Amino acid sequence: MQEYQGELLWADETRARIFNKCIQKHILSLSVAYLMEGIPRACWVSGFLIQIKGLLIWMTAGHVFNELNRILKLKEVDGIKARWIDNCPNKEAQCIPCDYPSLRPISIDIEGFDFGIVLLSPLYVGLLLKIKENMPLTNAHWRLDDCFEADGYYLVGLPHEFTELEQIGNSPEVHEYRSSGTLVSVPLTREDQTIHQSESDFWQHKDNFYGKVFPIRNDDGDLLKDISGMSGGPIFGVRIIDQNKFEYRVIAVQSSWLSQSMFTRGTRFDKVIYILNRAIELAIS
């Protein structure tokens, strides 16, 4: 287990796991299982809940919606079944039916802006918020002021390495599968974009958040080598109050990463909130 001291105390694996338990109430992911020419496949989508101007919104990355929609439209695909994935002990959200086409996702993926939203219907609002462990992020969780200074950062989501699709029963006629995943909070250090901007297109979005991924293990001791699947997960700035307590703010929505150098990039959340506020104001005016 990697241990850190001093300024990097937040990057310690034990501290990251404590934060993971603290933050899981805000995190809601989605699994979409399907058959591709009769072979079972699945997509796991990292995401989280926010509440803004009285609306409950599920948020992820825009490019994830685009890729998922592309796959599900293929003629070889059928038997689509979607499920919410929460992180509560009883996994109650998995029991909530989810009709993916009816979600009507909205995707933005252009010029450094990469986020997607689902405006949840009253049915989903009632069912999801009935689960007492689910708690959407609100203005208090993304409002930045002079009093908040982050000690470090965490990217939270479901990496594909820690997900599983398991068949239920042995009937060749009935295809039932159980999807599961392990939520992780991956420590990041903030990276100065200007140092790297001549290297590749990845570094060209000066308004994005850039970070360096720290290696981390899950509860079973498996080392996370690939953060694929964490697109759409929130990036939090954290301030350590004591061993088991954190103050945190949403800083960005994870968008892409460089697998060899383990750098990651995200759309700044203040930009996302500005767009959402303007869209809501125009819709009700």
Q: Under 8 Å CB-to-CB from 240, ≥6 apart: which residues?
A: 9, 10, 15, 151, 246
Query: Once rounded to an integer, what is the mean pLDDT over residues 103-124?
Result: 91
Alpha-helical regions (H) of 56-158: 62-72, 100-103, 122-130, 139-142
The answer for 232, left when phi > 0, alpha when psi is -120 to 50, beta otherwise, is: left
Task: Say yes or no to pLDDT of 281 above 90.
Answer: no
- 95 pLDDT above the threshold of 60: yes
Query: What value does the mean pLDDT take over residues 62-86?
Result: 90
| pLDDT range class, residue 285, cuts 50, 70, 90 | low
pLDDT digits (tens, 9 = 90+) for 3-13: 444 456 777 88
Catalogue all structural domains in the chain, each as residue range(s) with its CATH number: 6-284 (2.40.10.120)
Q: What is the DSSP letter of 259?
A: T
Answer positive or negative: Cα dihedral of 228, 234, 238, 240. Answer: negative
Q: For residue 175, what pLDDT is reported?
A: 58
Determine the average pLDDT of the residues in 37-64: 91
Strands (E), 194-233: 209-213
- Strand order from edge to edge, sheet including 48-52: 48-52, 55-60, 113-119, 106-110
- The CA angle 200-204-209, to the nearest 5 degrees, is 115
Q: Is the pLDDT of residue 2 over 60?
A: no
pLDDT (mean) for 270-281: 91
Looking at residue 260, what DSSP letter applies?
T
Instruction: Tell me the per-residue pLDDT of 117-127, one tens digit each, with 9 for 90 and over.
Output: 999 998 888 88
Q: Which of 93-97, 107-111, 158-162, 171-175 has the lowest mean pLDDT?
A: 171-175
The mean pLDDT of 227-242, rounded to a whole number, is: 91
Output the CA torsion sign for 198, 215, 32, 121.
negative
Alpha helices per DSSP H over the chain: 13-23, 62-72, 100-103, 122-130, 139-142, 193-196, 269-284
